[in-house]
Amino acid sequence: MTRLSAASLDANGKHRAAAEGTTIRPGIVHLGLGAFARAHTAVFTEDAMLATGSSDWGIVGVTQRSDTVARQLAPQDGLFTVAERGSGAAPLRVVSSIVEAISGRDRPEAVVDRIAADSTRVVTLTVTEKGYRIDPHTGSLNLADEQVRADLAGKPPLTAIGQITRGIQKRALTGGGPLTVVSCDNLPGNGELTGTLVRAFAAALPDTERTPLLTWLEDNVTFPSTMVDRMVPATTSRDLDAVEHELGLRDEAAVVAEPFMQWVIEDNFAGDRPAWEEAGALFSHDVAAWEAAKLRLLNASHSLLAYLGLAAGLDTISDAVGEDSFRRACRLMLAEDALPTVSLPDGLDGETYCAQILQRFANPALGHTTAKVGSDGSQKIGLRLLTTIRANLDAGREPRWAALAVAAWMHHVATTPAAGLNDPLAAELQAVLPADRRADTVIPALLTCRSVFDAEIAADSTFAGLLLHWYRIIDTQGLDGLRNEINHG
Ligand code: CS2
């Protein structure tokens, strides 16, 4: 089968790229070219260009740890397909906003050059929680991280923060214009955080580099926060075959996604930006509230369903939410633990939002796996669940359902064979686990893990009691016991 490319698409009678015939020039460097970026940021950016007739916002995409996507996109002239799945799905769409794909691992100097280039006015990033190299104890850059140290020592940078800071440093030296760095990861205050990490990197450089760089950063670079939302599972070979069937061309970089997508952006740009509002993005002064609501409502329930699903041997989120008792646990977590302790931004109705997310989870066509959503739990549960748990404990309430999610995560950690635990802290978590894995041995052991639980929450007896209660049921009574407890709880 012929491979997707500009020429083969041109010759293909069935489908056209929306921006066909336009020469798109680079304006954005995007770090982290995973499926999410292709199905979200690249689509918003193409839509903004289409809506305004501008062609200056092409994306130079950079893959981080693996070069797979750069290799997939290279022979395709950066083209890829977005296949929406589920009710309301739009027809197949070929996206052409990516004008170059670089393997950051193999061509780190090129990444620095592109960030420094005059044509670049915006850097966007989707590198996942662990890509920021945060020290869980300080909340700032992990200066003990080997890769961060290598980047600081002057090696061609491989971490996202190293790439951004070295790119900005070169930009400052070559007289480049202002730059806006837009984080698109599920982290509270992701813009402020990215700014803190970049400044921490700059501050750790030798004196002669540090001062001019920090001054330039202050005067020329902004870090707006954003809230991004679209469920994008990992593409499977079956998805690729289905796209090939429909498109009539082979696209190795195709992505599947739910029809829903949302982007809330803080209007704090140092210079020009794409007219993302023309593509449906919302510019807001209250991004922190949007992000907190998304993390503590949507992502928290996603994690709850993922770990309950994993415990029950269910492969997908739609299977997990299809289990009545799990859906009930989710509803109760939202209504009793999360909604009363989160402040919603203007324009967001909590009950409508919660009903909508449960409906989105139930999309049977998406194939979002519990394994994927359950991955990297050590990076996620603090932001999604422990925030809610602490707020309830502080208010003298028992966060029963959020604690169920954490207990189910603990069960996942304790019962997954060592090599199979997909988590950057797998070794640290496994090192504290006891040989004899029962509720009363596993829970105190995992609570000692300070990268996940701070001393205060770890010492809270109400929280520990809830964890013990749920862990015992999951571990010894299986699905029937869990159903029973949830339904009568
Ligand atoms: C998910 C998110 O994998 C996960 O942890 O909860 O990626 C989720 O699908 C997105 O945040 C939805 O916008």
DSSP string, 115-145: HHSTT--EEEE--TGGGG-B-TTTSSB-TT-
Distance 329 CA to ligand 1 centre (A): 19
115 lines ligand 1 (CB under 6 A): no
Q: Rounded to whole angstroms, what are the CA distances from 246 to 90, 188, 254, 299, 387? A: 13, 39, 12, 32, 44
Average pLDDT over residues 207-217: 97
Average pLDDT over residues 141-167: 98
**Minimal-distance CA residue to ligand 1 atom 11:** 229
Distance 401 CA to ligand 1 centre (A): 19
Task: Check: CB of residue 255 under 8 Å from CB of residue 79.
Answer: no
Average pLDDT over residues 222-226: 98
Go through the chain and tell me how many residues it has: 489
pLDDT, tens only, 50-86: 999 999 999 999 999 999 999 999 999 999 999 999 9
Rounded Cα distance between 45 and 122, Å, is: 12
Q: Rounded to whole angstroms, what are the CA distances from 350 to 296, 298, 331? A: 11, 11, 12
What are 340's two structure tokens? Answer: 């009363």
Distance 297 CA to ligand 1 centre (A): 11
Distance 373 CA to ligand 1 centre (A): 6
Q: What is the mean pLDDT of the chain?
A: 96
Distance 479 CA to ligand 1 centre (A): 25
233 phi, psi to nearest 5 deg: -75, 170
Residue 17: is its pLDDT beyond 90? no
Query: Quick one: pLDDT at residue 397?
Result: 97
Distance 85 CA to ligand 1 centre (A): 16
Query: Quick one: pLDDT at residue 16?
Result: 74
> Which residue type does 357 have?
I
225 lines ligand 1 (CB under 6 A): no
231 lines ligand 1 (CB under 6 A): yes
Average pLDDT over residues 456-476: 98
373 lines ligand 1 (CB under 6 A): yes
**Minimal-distance CA residue to ligand 1 atom 9:** 231
363 lines ligand 1 (CB under 6 A): no
Residue 260: is its pLDDT beyond 90? yes
> Which residue type does 142 have?
N
Q: How confident is the model at residue 214 (pLDDT cuts 50, 70, 90)?
A: very high
**Minimal-distance CA residue to ligand 1 atom 8:** 231
Residue 468: is its pLDDT beyond 90? yes
186 lines ligand 1 (CB under 6 A): yes
* Nearest CA among 380, 418, 424 for reference residue 146: 424
* Nearest CA among 306, 325, 304 for reference residue 314: 306
299 lines ligand 1 (CB under 6 A): yes
Task: Check: CB of residue 267 under 8 Å from CB of residue 344.
Answer: no
Q: How confident is the model at residue 15 (pLDDT cuts 50, 70, 90)?
A: confident
96 lines ligand 1 (CB under 6 A): no
Q: Which atom of ligand 1 is nearest to the CA of 230?
A: 13
Rounded Cα distance between 84 and 43, Å, is: 12
- What is the torsional sign of CA 15, 36, 165, 214? positive
> Which residue type does 146 have?
E
Q: Which atom of ligand 1 is nearest to the CA of 262?
A: 13
pTM over 0.75, yes/no: yes
Distance 410 CA to ligand 1 centre (A): 19
257 lines ligand 1 (CB under 6 A): no
Query: Quick one: pLDDT at residue 474?
Result: 97
Rounded Cα distance between 20 and 478, Å, is: 54
**Minimal-distance CA residue to ligand 1 atom 1:** 373
294 lines ligand 1 (CB under 6 A): no
Domains by residue range for the chain, with CATH: 6-284 (3.40.50.720), 288-488 (1.10.1040.10)
